[in-house]
């Protein structure tokens, strides 16, 4: 095609020719650039062979971390698409006091480095991908941790700069934590970990396996370089989740000179006990769901949980806890709750006991299972607990529970201990001495006032024996041993129970009427029904010496018509009881004493004593045994154990009866009839 002349007579150049000329120029420029880049790469490869690059990388990491860094395996350089260094068998050394020489061992790693810094003779890591890593994190037990990396001092006295890494990717890593005092605690397998820059912070996502459960973590953290450089507070905001559990933590962690300081808001929720099974087998007993929140503060060796809120199965504890770690460990807690029910701790568990195997030995009232004295913490503790309403299986509901637990070296004390129960008030003190080379010694002091007998009967006896009435209990005992049996066998002290104005109903009343049937008929001859038997007062005083209480009329009971006293022996060491009861008609009443049972005997193991009655009495023994079977045998003690003897020797005299070591006073006119077997060996006959 020929060029055409323009309006001014000039010849116009075709457009296609212009494009061809432009492409030729661009091709020449591109070729020059490629040649320059190729030349630069060749020069870079020659200037930085793998051996020199390995040395530069080692020097940079060593100066920035203060730890020895080496590459034991092969190292290669990939120039495209970026400059990447791949290395095998990489090692980062441990601190001097570490249990092993290496802190980190990597089977393979790839480092992406900055070209600009590399041309200046420095290595700047833009990203790192690590695979198959073994990481050892440990402490020396005195506040030092091997992950605190300190840059080395340069010749001029300045510190080397920390390593700034843009992106970190880890796969298949095993992280083991070793405490300087307790040894290896646990190992976490990190399946994947990815850290990427995100503005002023970095995003983190990870999956890891703890025990048999896989967790997922997401959130934001401060720059890794800032953590390693130790220039101030390092922020974090993380969430951890697994099946049935979630935990979140947000706050700041001190670095460098402020290492060891922590302030974080924690919250957690567990819907299944399996989420805690990796940490404690006892977690299976916790009532679900479990929710907790607190502000966690750490300064040096002191940890504090403030504004703490712990919910177990809908039961909430609030307060604060502080723990001082280190050589002088100590725990202090101040907790309170509106309501707490220990029965919920066994929710979902069967209560049916398996059938007991046949055995020639009888069951023991006090067992030989060791009490958890050895499970008490070895460091000092102070715990103040207040609960408005407290329920425990087998006991009446407690209200206004207030206790102060103090445990120190070789001693545990609970004082004060107070609560309201059964319409009355209980105060006491518990002290346990725990000498290293001797059995524990337990001292108990308890005073209970104005307890409702009817309420206690409803809780322990099904509510079919007593109506109305108030009871007082005074207990002071010293015991030695590790099992309930040894404690009972060594019990020394005094126990006194008093009751007033209690009516015996149902089977308990029927039992007493069988014994004094004709007396009741004489008192209420025109009443068609059989009214309840009212016990005006009852006293049971047990002077225990080494588990044995010799009863010398210190058990008494009075009704409006008669009084009953008891003598015999209660042996907690042998777990047996031998008591003889004798009723007497009160003075001034027109009753025939000959119509009364002359003697009632209770003998046998504590868990199932047997009753026998003087055959000279007016009671049909078979009927009494029928009542005994219906009430498990223990109700036979109800009308007799709470005994009294006439107006001159009733409840008041029983409360002041001489102890086991005192010689009882008897009048010259009193006679002591011989007791039938098995009571012929009692040291004092009944009056």
DSSP 3-state helix, strand, coil percentages of the chain (rounded to 5)?
20, 45, 35
For residue 191, pLDDT over 90 is answered with: yes
Q: What is the mean pLDDT of residues 187-192?
A: 92
The pLDDT assigned to 281 comes to 63
The pLDDT assigned to 63 comes to 81
The pLDDT assigned to 446 comes to 96
CB 578 within 8 A of CB 603: yes
Q: What is the mean pLDDT of residues 352-361?
A: 43
For residue 27, pLDDT over 70 is answered with: no
* Mean pLDDT, rounded, of the chain: 75
For residues 398 and 423, give the distance between their C-alpha atoms in angstroms, rounded to a whole number.
Answer: 10
CB 204 within 8 A of CB 194: yes
Could you give the C-alpha distances from 577 to 280, 368, 637, 679, in angstroms and in order?
Answer: 43, 20, 11, 11
Angle at 659 between CA 658 and CA 663, to 5 degrees: 60
Pairing of strands 262-270, 290-299: antiparallel
Residues in Cβ contact with 661 at an 8 Å cutoff, skipping those fewer than 6 apart: 543, 545
Can you give the three-state secondary structure of 290-312, one letter per residue? EEEEEEEEEECCEEEEEEEEEEE
For residue 54, pLDDT over 50 is answered with: yes
Q: What is the mean pLDDT of residues 327-338?
A: 91
Phi, psi of 460 (to 5 degrees): -105, -25
The pLDDT assigned to 629 comes to 30
Q: Please report which helix (H) or strand (E) contains residue 644, including its range.
A: none
The pLDDT assigned to 53 comes to 73
Q: Could you tell me the sign of the dihedral formed by the alpha carbons of 291, 297, 303, 307, in that order? A: negative
For residues 673 and 682, give the distance between their C-alpha atoms in angstroms, rounded to a whole number.
Answer: 12
Pairing of strands 330-341, 381-391: parallel
Can you give the three-state secondary structure of 16-42, one letter per residue? HHHHHHHHHHHHHHHHHHHHHHHHHHH
For residues 358 and 465, give the distance between their C-alpha atoms in angstroms, rounded to a whole number.
Answer: 32
Provide the pLDDT confidence category of residue 320 given band limits of 50, 70 and 90.
very high
Q: What is the mean pLDDT of residues 672-678?
A: 34
Q: Which two tokens stand for residue 253?
A: 């962690």
Among 245-249, 420-424, 524-528, 540-544, the range scoring the smallest mean pLDDT is 524-528
The pLDDT assigned to 679 comes to 32
CA 585 to chain centre: 57
Give the residue extent of every domain in the chain: 14-47, 50-198, 503-539+547-660+674-679
The pLDDT assigned to 675 comes to 34
For residues 312 and 340, give the distance between their C-alpha atoms in angstroms, rounded to a whole number.
Answer: 9
CB atoms near residue 176 (< 10 Å): 15
Provide the pLDDT confidence category of residue 655 given band limits of 50, 70 and 90.
low
Phi, psi of 482 (to 5 degrees): -110, -10
The pLDDT assigned to 164 comes to 62
Can you give the three-state secondary structure of 338-395, one letter per residue? EEEEHHHHHCCCCCCCCCCCCCCCCCCCCCCCCCCCCCCCCCCEEEEEEEEEEECCCC
Per residue in 59-94, pLDDT (tens digit) is: 878 887 888 998 888 888 776 556 778 889 999 999
For residues 619 and 515, give the distance between their C-alpha atoms in angstroms, rounded to a whole number.
Answer: 6
DSSP 202-222: EEEEEEEEETTEEEEEEEEE-
Residues in Cβ contact with 444 at an 8 Å cutoff, skipping those fewer than 6 apart: 428, 429, 430, 475, 476, 477, 479
Q: Which two tokens stand for residue 146?
A: 């091997």
For residues 53 and 292, give the distance between their C-alpha atoms in angstroms, rounded to a whole number.
Answer: 51
Provide the pLDDT confidence category of residue 512 given band limits of 50, 70 and 90.
very low
CA 581 to chain centre: 48
Provide the pLDDT confidence category of residue 594 given band limits of 50, 70 and 90.
low
The pLDDT assigned to 265 comes to 97
For residue 370, pLDDT over 80 is answered with: yes
For residues 637 and 628, give the distance between their C-alpha atoms in angstroms, rounded to a whole number.
Answer: 10
DSSP label of 618: S
Can you give the three-state secondary structure of 249-294, one letter per residue? EEEEEECHHHCCCEEEEEEEEECCHHHHCCCCHHHHHCCCCEEEEE
Q: At which residue do the structure tokens 């030989």 appear?
A: 368
Pairing of strands 167-179, 125-138: parallel
Q: Could you tell me the sign of the dihedral formed by the alpha carbons of 337, 341, 347, 353, in that order? A: positive
Q: Which two tokens stand for residue 6?
A: 């323009």
Q: What is the mean pLDDT of residues 248-255?
A: 92
Per residue in 97-112, pLDDT (tens digit) is: 898 999 999 999 988 8
Provide the pLDDT confidence category of residue 684 given band limits of 50, 70 and 90.
very low
Phi, psi of 538 (to 5 degrees): -150, 140
Q: Which two tokens stand for residue 19?
A: 């494009």
Q: What is the mean pLDDT of residues 185-214?
A: 89
């Amino acid at each position: 095609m020929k060029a055409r002349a323009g309006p001014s007579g000039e010849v116009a150049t075709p457009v296609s020719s212009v494009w061809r000329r432009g492409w030729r120029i661009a091709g020449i420029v591109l070729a020059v650039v490629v040649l320059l880049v190729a030349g630069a790469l060749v020069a870079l490869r020659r200037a930085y062979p793998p051996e020199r690059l390995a040395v530069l990388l080692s020097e940079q990491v060593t100066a920035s971390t203060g730890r020895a860094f080496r590459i034991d395996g092969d190292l290669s350089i990939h120039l495209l698409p970026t400059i990447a260094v791949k290395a095998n068998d990489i090692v980062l050394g441990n601190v001097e006091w570490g249990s092993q020489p290496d802190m980190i061992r990597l089977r393979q790693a790839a480092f992406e480095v900055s070209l600009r810094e590399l041309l200046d003779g420095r290595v700047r890591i833009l990203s790192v991908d690590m695979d198959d890593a073994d990481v050892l994190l440990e402490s020396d037990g005195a506040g030092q941790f091997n992950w605190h990396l300190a840059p080395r001092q340069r010749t001029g006295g300045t510190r080397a700069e920390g390593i700034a890494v843009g992106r970190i990717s880890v796969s298949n890593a095993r992280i083991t934590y070793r405490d300087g005092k307790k040894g290896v605690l646990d190992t976490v397998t990190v399946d994947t970990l990815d850290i990427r820059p995100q503005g002023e912070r970095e995003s983190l996502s990870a999956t890891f396996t703890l025990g048999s459960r896989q967790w997922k973590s997401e959130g934001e953290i401060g720059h890794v370089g800032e953590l390693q450089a130790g220039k101030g507070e390092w922020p974090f905001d993380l969430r951890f989740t697994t099946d049935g559990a979630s935990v979140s933590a947000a706050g700041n962690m001190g670095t460098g000179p402020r290492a060891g300081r922590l302030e974080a808001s924690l919250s957690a929720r567990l819907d299944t006990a399996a989420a805690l099974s990796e940490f404690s087998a006892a977690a299976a007993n916790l009532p679900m769901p479990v929710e907790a929140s607190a502000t966690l503060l750490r300064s040096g060796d002191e940890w504090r949980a403030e504004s703490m809120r712990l919910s177990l199965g809908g039961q909430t504890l609030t307060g604060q806890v502080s723990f001082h770690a280190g050589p002088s460990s100590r725990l202090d807690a101040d907790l309170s709750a509106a309501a707490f029910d220990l029965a919920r701790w066994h929710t979902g568990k069967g209560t049916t006991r398996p059938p007991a195997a046949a055995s020639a030995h009888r069951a023991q009232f006090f067992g030989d299972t060791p009490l958890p004295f050895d499970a008490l913490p070895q460091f000092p503790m102070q715990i103040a607990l207040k609960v408005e309403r407290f329920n425990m299986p087998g006991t009446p509901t407690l209200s206004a529970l207030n206790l102060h637990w103090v445990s120190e070296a070789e001693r545990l004390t609970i004082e004060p201990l107070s609560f309201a129960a059964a319409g009355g008030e209980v105060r006491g003190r518990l002290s346990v001495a725990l000498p290293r080379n001797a059995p524990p010694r337990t001292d108990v002091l308890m005073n209970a006032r104005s307890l409702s007998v009817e309420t206690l009967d409803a809780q322990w006896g099904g509510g079919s024996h007593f109506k109305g009435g108030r009871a007082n209990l005074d207990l002071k005992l010293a015991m030695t041993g590790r099992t309930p049996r040894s404690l009972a066998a060594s019990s020394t002290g005094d126990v006194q129970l008093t009751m007033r104005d209690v009516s015996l109903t149902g089977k308990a009343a029927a039992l007493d009427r069988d014994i004094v049937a004709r007396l009741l008929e004489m008192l209420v001859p025109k009443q068609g029904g059989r009214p309840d038997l009212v016990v005006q007062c009852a006293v049971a005083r047990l002077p225990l010496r080494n588990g044995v209480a010799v009863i010398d009329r210190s058990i008494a009971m009075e009704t409006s018509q008669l009084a009953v006293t008891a003598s015999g022996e209660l042996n907690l060491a042998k777990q047996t009881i031998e008591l003889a009861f004798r009723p007497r008609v009160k003075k001034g009443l027109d009753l025939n004493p000959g119509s009364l049972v002359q003697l009632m005997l209770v003998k046998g193991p504590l868990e199932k004593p047997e009753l026998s009655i003087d055959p000279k009495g007016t009671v049909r023994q078979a009927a009494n045994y029928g009542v005994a079977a219906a009430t498990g045998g223990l109700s036979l003690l109800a009308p007799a154990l709470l005994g009294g003897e006439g107006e001159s020797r009733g409840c008041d005299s029983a409360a002041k009866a001489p102890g086991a070591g005192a010689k009882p006073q008897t009048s010259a006119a009193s006679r002591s009839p011989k007791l039938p077997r098995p009571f012929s060996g009692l040291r004092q006959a009944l009056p």
